[in-house]
Structure 1
């Protein structure tokens, strides 16, 4: 999609976290860069859960790139990869990988599986008797909506890394959640990509108002440095790479399927899509 957007000088306001190592002049990145999700998640695991990590992911660009980042970070920070496995999208038989997890005895699992594979993985992990207390799993592609599909009973106690949760304690979020449920139903949940999509609409509108035009080049210029009081807290567009300054939050899945924050960066983190500020990341891109 990126070449088409660039070829036509369009604008894509992208609402999901991604693996980094790119920055297009025609994309505004509303989700986290790797230093706003993956890197702090690894830091948190090393400090709180242990040094031995098992990597499991779907076989496409995001997990492959994420795990390159993780391996470089672990090498620099005294961690150890005790296993690394990839499966095709939609894969459902994790018995062999779970046996490898048991044999390698990791302190934690870093999960970059996507889609329905997560349903199978967490159900089979539970059936194998591996609990969040024994070997915690931290995921970066599972938010509240995915927890509903996997089942809270299969994910209770497991961890995720995002910038926003339905439970995020801001005045803006209380209104956002109430309005969302009023519109779509009380049984619906918000999550990070939903909130990022919401932020995109308002930031684009602010840029258009400032530019007094919907012309792409004028909107891009006007968007530099714009701020918005988002449900997650104040976000700001970095004019150099069109990513957002964002707070990082580690969350834990609860009995009711919602995610409670267990750690926060406490302040917004500057987006660093190429990880230029990390010595250990040199050469990754």
Structure 2
């Protein structure tokens, strides 16, 4: 490991042309060859299989593994097999960082697919930036990040909220209650939501956050009952989503007059809580399992065949799946001796893939994806009814809440 590090430092002085793009090292041919040996390309798979967010991350692991298996069964990438190295960071940001270092430095993975929460992404980010590696992050997130070491395939605030918030205000009213898990993602999403609400003449009557893994919502439910908001805007994540919905239903509250509107509640959480607990509530996402397309039909059928007929797909498992194909397409452009994180990143810029949700594209400027926003209402059978979807794919703007800043190919710029 130390010898590899010294090799990187030795070549760093020659890296000026790439430094502005976010990579402090230049890759020698020998270093590239190390990533594609014996007909294999090693990648890391870093999703929690235990802990509070395993309820969702376990399905991201499954979607990633399935995509790798499909690619390998079809001949791999230019005849090379993708070899996944799976680690369980146990829903703990510090463990995420530890496992990321292992995957990059010890296992010498050319890229890593991982994370659900922003807390875990922030924990691993220094590893990928310092070691000039590449992280594929599939989750909807709060934006306000401009790393050249991350490929972001989930939605950012403008792709989830620009249609959703005005639609909810028009349909239900202007008094909103915000409830979220206590970390960066809910707070930044709420920051953007408040800007939209202000422009619509709406107000936030309360805003509070609960710890990750929180399961006792009786005091929150009592506030819902007393405050009577028109909309409950939820950015609660993990198994806390299940507890919140079950306790809402047990309290006899009515989603017809006081719905929860979520950016994070998917078919996966609904399967855990039961369709009755989620029925009538809303989610905004680029993908729902019921979306009709040939690609989605194949995806759902393959997922259930591989992992069980009772399994569901959702908007983060879908991006976990298609980002592996984006990786495959990028690597397929390269010769074996040229494969390294830098060349993969450059090959990904502008890359398109016909995903289950529709055609997606990696935006060259900020490495986020063009996606297809949709609004769904959960039904008692555990599936969503799509009520509205964008006519076209929507450009990602990770700094939509900060109009004086923009993520560009050269880095973050003040405008």
TM-score interval for Structure 1 and Structure 2 normalised by the shorter chain: over 0.9
Match 1:258 to one of 383, 386, 399:
383
Match 1:177 to one of 296, 300, 304:
300
Indicate conservation of the 8 Å contact 2:191/2:401, yes or no. Answer: no
Q: Distance in 1 between matches of 2:347 and 2:383?
A: 37
Q: Report the CA distance between 1:248 and its aligned residue.
A: 0.2
Equivalent residue number for residue 33 of structure 1: 156
Equivalent residue number for residue 59 of structure 1: 182
Q: Report the CA distance between 1:276 and its aligned residue.
A: 6.6
**4+ aligned runs moved over 6 Å, structure 1:** none
Name the CA shift for 1:257/1:196 in 2 (closer, same or farther; >3 Å): same
Kindly indicate whether residue 358 of structure 2 is the aligned counterpart of residue 233 of structure 1: yes
Q: Report the CA distance between 1:103 and its aligned residue.
A: 2.0
Q: Distance in 1 between matches of 2:214 and 2:347?
A: 44
Q: Distance in 1 between matches of 2:287 and 2:212?
A: 26
1:140-173 CA-to-partner distances (Å, cap 9, x unmatched) read 1111111111211111111111111111111111
Match 2:215 to one of 92, 95, 104:
92
Instruction: Calculate the TM-score normalised by the size of structure 2.
Output: 0.65
Aligned 1:1-285 pairs, distance under 5 A: 1-212=124-335, 213-275=338-400
1:234-270 CA-to-partner distances (Å, cap 9, x unmatched) read 0011000001100101111111111121111121000
Q: Report the CA distance between 1:47 and its aligned residue.
A: 2.4
**Structure index of larger Rg:** 2
Q: Distance in 1 between matches of 2:360 and 2:183?
A: 30
SS of 2:381's equivalent in the other structure is coil
Indicate conservation of the 8 Å contact 1:55/1:81, yes or no. Answer: yes
Q: Distance in 1 between matches of 2:132 and 2:254?
A: 49
Structure 1 segments unaligned to the other structure (5+ residues): 280-284
Q: Distance in 2 between matches of 1:7 and 1:55?
A: 37
Indicate conservation of the 8 Å contact 1:176/1:231, yes or no. Answer: yes
SS of 2:208's equivalent in the other structure is strand
Q: Report the CA distance between 1:278 and its aligned residue.
A: 5.7
Indicate conservation of the 8 Å contact 1:83/1:101, yes or no. Answer: no
Q: Report the CA distance between 1:2 and its aligned residue.
A: 0.5
Indicate conservation of the 8 Å contact 2:172/2:257, yes or no. Answer: no
Q: What RMSD over aligned residues (CA atoms) do the two structures have, in Å?
A: 1.7
Instruction: Calculate the TM-score normalised by the size of structure 1.
Output: 0.94
More contact order relative to length (CA 8 Å, sep ≥ 6): 1
